[in-house]
Amino acid sequence: MKILIILCGCLIMSLHAEEYEQISVDVRANNISGNSYYISGYSGSATEFEGFISNAGFVITSDGVLVFDALGSPPLGNALLGEIRKLTDKPIRIVIVSHYHADHIYGLQAFKDEGAEIWAPKGAWDYIDSELSENLLESRRESLYPWVNEETHIVRPNRIFDKDYKFSLGEHEFSINYFGKVHSDGDMSLLNITDGVIYSGDIIFEGRIPFVGDADLVEWAITIDKVRKMPVKYFVPGHGKASNKPNETMDLTYRYLNYLLDKFTVAVEEMQEFDDAYDSIDWSEFEKNNAFEIANRKNAFAAYLYLEKILD
């Protein structure tokens, strides 16, 4: 009888694993401090490396597991879950989503299947209900097939935050820091007070040029100033390597955003055409960073349009 039960259990696990396409990228949990872990994606564009270009994290507590972000496809989310299961069989209680962008949310399906509650910042619904989210999902079903396919859908949050919030899970104390519309329609970070670790989401990109999109650049720069003052020992950015030197990890994003603001404020005030302004700027400080070639001109144009609007 015991053998039969074991075989049935293995069969169920096998069937569950086969729900997701196989991946070839190396999804691996790294311990950063205490019971806090993170997964580090590769440095690339959204459709490179099977979509594995963002970070996620998790904290194992005596009362279950808290997860931060869920990676960019259901198979990647399942791989993240697999890394957690190597360390604990405790239930997944909560997944905190830093913001609703595709590379952080398509993996939520694997955790919803586990019964986890999904917590997200105000602004998530603006993304979910937009044509952009629908069109992007259709696009990713082609560019990231088979990892994103017809079975992939956007998981809706159970709980929305529009202000800071402190809570505990097991022996760990946490603080959600709500930032509002900064990098996306709504952003927040998670501070594990007990382990001294902050998971920033895409407020910070380490080792690569950030993605600007339709961000509020002034609020983003102000937010980084706030985060720089938080008393933390370890820092996990939305993209790039974690470190025990928080200010160094934040440095590239901080300098880059302020550079865009400084240069294009002058260009807009002097009524320069974008192409002329772009070509006249010295980009040497940033051109050796990852993603410069694919992202910088788009970011610069976004900054130009943003400043035209707020300086009008």
Find the domain containing 47 and state its range: 19-247
Q: Does the residue 215 lie in any domain?
A: yes
pLDDT (0 to 100) of residue 312: 83
Lowest mean pLDDT among 12-16, 140-144, 241-245: 12-16
Per cent of the chain over pLDDT 70 is 94
Looking at residues 15-25, what average pLDDT do you find?
76
Look at residue 2 in the predicted model and tell me its pLDDT.
37
Is position 103 within any domain?
yes
pLDDT for residue 19 is more than 80: yes
143, 162 contact by CB (below 8 A): no
pLDDT of residue 4: 39
Query: Considering its fold, how many domains does the chain have in total?
Result: 1
Q: Do residues 186 and 121 lie in contact, with contact meaning Cβ atoms separated by under 8 Å?
A: yes
Q: Tell whether 146 is covered by a domain.
A: yes
Which is more confident, 66 or 43? 66
- Is residue 134 a contact partner of residue 197, using CB atoms and an 8 Å limit? no
Q: Which helix (H) or strand (E) holds 236?
A: strand 234-236
Name the band, by pLDDT with cuts 50, 70 and 90, for residue 44.
Answer: confident
CB count in 10 Å sphere of residue 170: 17
For residue 165, is it within any domain? yes
- The per-residue pLDDT of the chain, averaged, comes to 93
SS3 content of the chain, % helix, strand, coil (to 5): 40, 20, 40
Work out the pLDDT band at 6, boundaries 50, 70, 90.
very low
pLDDT at 248 over 60: yes
In-domain check, residue 110: yes
Q: Tell whether the model's pLDDT for residue 11 goes beyond 60.
A: no
User: Residue 68 has which token pair?
Assistant: 């931060």
Q: How far is it between the farthest Cα atoms of the chain?
A: 81
Please report where in the chains the tokens 């096998």 appear, as a residue.
14
DSSP at 218: H
**What pTM value is reported for the model?**
0.92
Instruction: Examine residue 253 and state whether it is found in any structural domain, yes or no.
Output: no
Task: Supply the CATH number for residue 160's domain.
Answer: 3.60.15.10
Distance CA 95, CA 117 (A): 6
Is the pLDDT assigned to residue 147 strictly greater than 90? yes
Q: Is residue 1 in a domain?
A: no
In a domain, 308, yes or no: no
